[in-house]
Structure 1
């Protein structure tokens, strides 16, 4: 049974001017189909190998019947051991109705985790070049993880590239071999996995879209399109409304750009009045030069990713609607471009955040916290039970935790809950403290706060302390810093491509599901 495309499946509509904002959508991923036997029309079979007692063993070998022994022998003959992410391809035995067999290693059976399965499936998807239709026996290792890994691993962003000249087919269909393909729960598990993976794809698409084509007004329009298609209520504030409303952080950061800022609000009311309410906030800097405190030129092109938090939040609230979660979720998404010009805010300027707090801008490159603070205060006016904000906020996150581990800060209990869920789903969030002694370093000589300290110590933690000033009393809050994990500047690995990763969509949707189930 093919799983249909979701209403937000990478179909991002352009604004009115197609020259200014062409349609941006990635190459559609493969259809995932539940099946009980190998389709004769398939080009290849994808199998998983694990090691048990030091010996390779096929996963789901019963789907291969009598050919299983020949498949395993052929793979061993070419050096397959089941080592994690090891990929081999051999001609298929004549008893199988396909041309070749592709294997991927999952490592030791006793060490296997859901995310290792997801990563192996992603590695396999990236290796399936020249294959249009594949059957796979991987599903017994974990249907949801396998499905997510296959969709995420096959992700490509090709909107701005010429079509390939070769005639090699692209991967368009994957048959997941299961014992009961008509089982309702199996169908539901697959549908959820595909929906989650496609939501990650939406976030990746937005992050990968260059700043020439994704600026605040266009980003807001795409968020409106995605939200409306999912049945969300949508509100967009333009620069005039932001000025009138007192959103000094968003307006201040956007002052240097010819492309003015926006604030987008997307609401899903999936629960009853007594259902938990969750606020999501994401940093939407569509490009960050650093402003007057300009960044070094080397690597500045990667600042196209500085709206990854906003992309993840937009994708997550739309996914919550797609999954019909019984929670009330509102995303408040500030969008601006941080540019240097004669109209840009200066180091030493004082702005007034939404809600009245004055801030001395010491460093214009610490702009994310300024727009987030406005959005957090606005989100807290709805009196949510929980608030999650996420941002590519600090280089200090990468110094402390590397490029793959998000830092999670906030109120202790909810911070730990979010970090634990992030680790469970494979995004690896790590709980971090907010030492009280660092707060005094944000005191300003002329305003209520300074936006940075006068030293380089604990930069990620200080940013969390800044945001804490704007979180309403009694709200359970978590801040997820994804400066490194949201954008992969290295080579692809597992189900993670080069460029936008979609982190932390899977963490946030899992937290919403956990809140819906457990309160």
Structure 2
């Protein structure tokens, strides 16, 4: 399932690698671009500097220029843009530059990265960027296409990547980078898989099979168990499909765990909108509506592989939202796990229904914190665009997640949950409605989810030990419909996997 390349280490000299191309960094400057430190000889550096302007090299981010065999070397040198370095060369700039270079070098077998790697964190960033940049998804290509890619086709990703460094503790950093990149790419693979192949039962089986050789405990609720235990939200959303819903619990519970983190993921394997049918053009990317659950799966597995001393419990709320004679209707009232009732006013606001059930189950176990991650609202893109994740919830936890994202180079933004938006969810016939004010819809959805945090616990328990909660909306950033950039390909991105792993690692301390 994982379509990634694990980088390896080599000493920081040209004769330490047999790579066909050597990647070096070039920074943008106010007056002229400049080369960063690299393993290149002085003769080669001088030759390159003299031709930067004639080649049109600016050093801006995502700019990649090949220079065939400049003076002093018999190999191709690849100049990858770092951007401005007025405030120093950041790890994220190197991560992005490595990813852009490797992505641009498709068709080559072996590439070496001669970017400045002065610390373990920098080595990890370079290796992460390179591995994520080498991603490709070919699971459903024909045999002929597979054969072409196995040859020397220009679209075939780089097969081997060397990170050139003399740093003593780099091995552990490259290992971490490989595991993290695997998690990002596993998320991408799941999101890119078509709904004909990844439906609720298939998703649950994939989790079981993939985690069979780890210490992660996997529990699956089928449709009968969901009904018997009162998971009304997941059951209602899934009842319109011939492929019934699932709830999957993943538990990484190491001895001596220092904390307990729960993460709930939205897993709508395809979203037609149900009876409140989407326009046809709005459905073309709806295989990505399970990106939250894919993220949770990948994060729990990576936490186990890395041996993080934190208990991480993942909840995958999986259903397919289809219109049929058995589908839920606008004005239906459903009883959620924990007992609250919801009037369904729009069946295309289904993600919050499956998430609400899982939030009740997650907080019944009284973790230290609970987070949920979902492709929840189009309003997220209106508010924050397609590259910035919205984070809402308890202020301290919300800000901790945003800080974790900042540390790993992902873009997240803290947003409020205004109380007037909760008021707009009032229903005349049930405890609340599944839709409210359409203005500020991202925050309205968060207000709905907040109602189900600790909803299965009695009032005294909630008052004594309320569970800190945060909601992460990745509707736009999870699926890139524009051109590839940096280490981010078209289609599934794997956004927030690295942030959540960074958050968990922080809790280990």
What is the TM-score of this pair, normalised by structure 1? 0.90
Q: Is contact 1:373–1:470 with CA below 8 Å preserved after alignment?
A: yes
Query: In the superposition, relative to structure 1, how do residues 76 and 194 fare at CA in structure 2: closer, same or farther (>3 Å)?
Result: farther
Alpha-carbon distance, 1:60 to partner: 2.7
> What's 2:172 paired with?
188
**1:40-119 equivalences in 2 (<5 Å):** 41-51=18-28, 54-64=31-41, 66-93=43-70, 95-98=72-75, 100-111=76-87, 112-119=89-96
Superposed CA offset, 1:297-343 (max 9, x none): 11312000000000000000101111111111100111000000000
Alignment of 1:503 onto 2:495: yes
Structure 2: which 5+ runs fail to align?
A: 455-461
C-alpha distance in structure 2 between counterparts of 1:499 and 1:53, whole Å: 35
**1:290-329 equivalences in 2 (<5 Å):** 290-329=273-312
C-alpha distance in structure 1 between counterparts of 2:157 and 2:404, whole Å: 34
Q: Is contact 2:265–2:355 with CA below 8 Å preserved after alignment?
A: yes
> Which of 460, 467, 484 is 1:492 aligned to?
484
> What's 1:153 paired with?
133
1:156 aligned counterpart, secondary structure: coil
> What's 1:470 paired with?
452
**1:154-169 equivalences in 2 (<5 Å):** 154-162=134-142, 163=145, 165=148, 167-168=152-153
1:325 aligned counterpart, secondary structure: coil
> Which of 258, 265, 276 is 2:242 aligned to?
258
**1:316-355 equivalences in 2 (<5 Å):** 316-355=299-338
Superposed CA offset, 1:367-397 (max 9, x none): 0110001100001111100111000001111
> What's 1:144 paired with?
124
Alpha-carbon distance, 1:86 to partner: 1.9
C-alpha distance in structure 1 between counterparts of 2:380 and 2:28, whole Å: 36
C-alpha distance in structure 1 between counterparts of 2:328 and 2:26, whole Å: 57
Q: Is contact 2:388–2:413 with CA below 8 Å preserved after alignment?
A: yes
> What's 1:390 paired with?
373
Alignment of 1:215 onto 2:199: yes
Alpha-carbon distance, 1:30 to partner: 5.4
Q: How many pairs does the alignment contain?
A: 487
Alignment of 1:456 onto 2:433: no
Alpha-carbon distance, 1:76 to partner: 4.2
Superposed CA offset, 1:125-164 (max 9, x none): 1111332111221142721221111111111111112326
Alignment of 1:227 onto 2:211: yes
Q: Is contact 1:34–1:178 with CA below 8 Å preserved after alignment?
A: yes
Query: In the superposition, relative to structure 1, how do residues 426 and 140 fare at CA in structure 2: closer, same or farther (>3 Å)?
Result: same
C-alpha distance in structure 1 between counterparts of 2:81 and 2:424, whole Å: 50
C-alpha distance in structure 1 between counterparts of 2:379 and 2:178, whole Å: 34
Superposed CA offset, 1:265-324 (max 9, x none): 110112526x21100100000000000001011131200000000000000010111111
2:86 aligned counterpart, secondary structure: helix
Q: Is contact 2:425–2:432 with CA below 8 Å preserved after alignment?
A: yes
Q: Is contact 1:62–1:68 with CA below 8 Å preserved after alignment?
A: no
Structure 1: which 5+ runs fail to align?
A: 1-9, 12-25
Alignment of 1:482 onto 2:474: yes
Q: Is contact 2:7–2:163 with CA below 8 Å preserved after alignment?
A: no
Q: Is contact 1:30–1:172 with CA below 8 Å preserved after alignment?
A: no
Could you list the structure 1 runs, at least 4 aligned residues long, displaced by more than 6 angstroms after superposition.
none
1:96 aligned counterpart, secondary structure: coil
Alpha-carbon distance, 1:55 to partner: 3.5
